[in-house]
Chains A and B, each alone.
Chain A
Amino acid sequence: MTERFSHPSGLAVKRSTIRFWYLTHRWTSIISTLFLLMLCVTGLPLIFHDEIDAAFGEDWESRLAGNPSASVGQPLDSIVARALAERPGEVPLFIGFSQDSSLITVTTGPSPDAPGSAMTLLNFDRLTGRSLGPVEGGGVMETILALHVDMLLGLPGMLFLGVMGILFLIALISGVVLYAPFMQRLRFGTLRRGRSKRVRRLDQHNLLGAATLGWALVVGATGAINAFADPLTDNWREGELAEMIAAQSSEEPLDPAAYGSLDLAMARAQEILPGRSPQFVGFPGGAWSGPRQYAIFFQGDRPLTSHLLTPALVEADTGRLVDAREMPAINKALMLSKPLHFGDYGGLPFKLLWAVLDLLTIWVLWTGLLLWLRRSPDRTERAVEEIALRSAPA
């Protein structure tokens, strides 16, 4: 190690390297910190969205627990018929299944290609066929989610937050690069007592930042991936689904009156995907299906693959199976990024720890912000000098 600094220019190079990483850490952090604080604060309730929805909403999932609508209950055709009786003149667009309860959701709209704003979501109990009324929307949790995802600004907001996520990752990496030389003369976790406020904040920043690094890297990276995922998902939808449909003779949209049995289509699809449970169905003519086909999206039968979707296309009028394909690897990775980012997959103790790590990250961001706000004029040079001296041999 000593040889590294024996050449007179050795230490100078070292200082310029430290300065580079110091400024990288400072600027990537300054630009992203306020947005990251917003993301940490809005992300906190989202970890517990299941529990919060259950406490404040009509908790059908637990009231109808058992008999999963993905596998048992009334025929799908009769549920669709009941939904259309409630919305005369409309057509079915989607069906959403539950893996834990007999709750089933039917989406209807004025036409097969109706936009989201014109859609109506209706809840049913698939076991009894009973209508449970429209899905309540626009609650506080939805606003929090929208803030977290795109700051209510749509795609530009989402991409902007994705860039903030990338800056966060650079800040984490540059933080580690600075941590290594800085901590060479301090034990892990040293909080120097009886020193200035700045030293105390710096030690807390280093301890919390170093300990939560793994979690922060995963949540930061998956968050950035999620922000850029929509265009890739569209790409898959338009590419793969279009390819599956291309071999078909007719591209003419199918008249909703000619839709055949969905139960038959489901049975055909499950013949080649045995053991798979459906997650949702896209009706013909929508963005998630073909012009004349039902697209049935199955999830895997294991905990890991349950986050992945396999679509099966079935001709809606004849009930003939067209194709069923696994998603490409890139889209599989994208789908796994969602749970890994929101932390809503591992049971309550896991979620509570996730929340603690989120709060600790807020403290890292806060102490970092204060370190910058309360800096002295020649701070950069002093900091670079301090780190360089610590890593130099005694």
Chain B
Amino acid sequence: MNRPHRIARQSLMRTLLVPGVLLIVSIVGLILALTGDGTRDWIAALLLALPVAAIFRAWFAPASFQSKTIR
């Protein structure tokens, strides 16, 4: 079967890199908003927007992005 999405096997670190970064920025954002108002709230919102942006990017990415392989 044609599997255009398949890429060379990545290390565990590489597989979990993006979810790991998103995990850390969202937790930092959640706590940051608790420690202050004003600027901190805006930075917190920006950090919390990153997971949403990542989903948005993947969801609306052209098919070429989806099948692009990394070696």
Q: Which residues of A contact B (CB under 8 A)?
A: 1, 176, 179-180, 183-193, 207-208, 210-215, 217-218, 303-304, 307, 336, 339-340, 345-347, 349-350, 353-354, 356-357, 360, 391, 393-394
Interface residues of B in 1-39 (CB under 8 A from A): 5-12, 15-19, 22-27, 30-31, 33-37
Please measure, in the bound complex, the distance between the C-alpha atom of A208 and the C-alpha atom of B22, giving whole angstroms: 11
Greatest chain A CB density within 10 A among B16, B23, B25 is at B23
Selected from B6, B34, B48, the residue in CB contact (under 8 A) with A353 is: B48
Q: What is the minimal beta-carbon distance from B64 to any residue of chain A, in angstroms?
A: 11
Contact between B35 and A303, CB atoms less than 8 A apart: yes
Per the bound structure, the CA–CA distance linking A393 and B44 in Å amounts to: 40
B7 touches A186 (CB 8 A): yes
When the two chains form their complex, are residues B19 and A360 in contact, meaning their CB atoms are under 8 A apart? Answer: no
Contact B30 A179 (CB under 8 A): no
Residues of A contacting B10 in the complex (Cβ-Cβ under 8 angstroms): 184-185
Contact across chains for B18 and A215 when beta carbons are under 8 A apart? no
| Given contacts A180-B12, A183-B15, A214-B25, A190 and B66 within 8 Å (CB-CB) | yes
Contacts of B35 in A (CB 8 A): 303-304
- The interface residues of chain A lying within 8 Å CB-to-CB of B15 are 179-180, 183-184, 188
Interface SS majority for chain A:
helix
Q: List 18 A-B contacts (CB under 8 A).
A: A1-B11, A184-B12, A188-B19, A188-B54, A188-B58, A189-B54, A193-B63, A208-B55, A213-B19, A214-B24, A214-B25, A218-B26, A345-B34, A346-B33, A347-B37, A356-B52, A357-B51, A394-B8
B42 CB contact (under 8 Å) in A176, A349, A394: A349
Q: How far is the CA of A192 from the CA of B61 in the complex (A)?
A: 11
Contact between B34 and A212, CB atoms less than 8 A apart:
no
Is there contact, CB below 8 Å, between B51 and A215? yes
Residues of B whose CB lies within 8 Å of any CB of A are 5-12, 15-19, 22-27, 30-31, 33-37, 40-42, 44-45, 48-49, 51-52, 54-55, 57-59, 61, 63, 66, 68, 70
Cα of A191 to Cα of B60 in the assembled complex, Å = 10
The 9 closest A-B CB pairs, nearest first, are A189-B58, A346-B33, A214-B26, A188-B18, A214-B23, A210-B19, A347-B41, A349-B45, A211-B51
Excluding A187-B5, A360-B55, A394-B9, 16 further A-B contacts by CB distance (< 8 Å) are: A180-B12, A190-B5, A190-B58, A191-B59, A192-B66, A193-B63, A213-B19, A214-B23, A214-B30, A303-B34, A346-B33, A346-B34, A346-B41, A353-B49, A356-B52, A391-B9
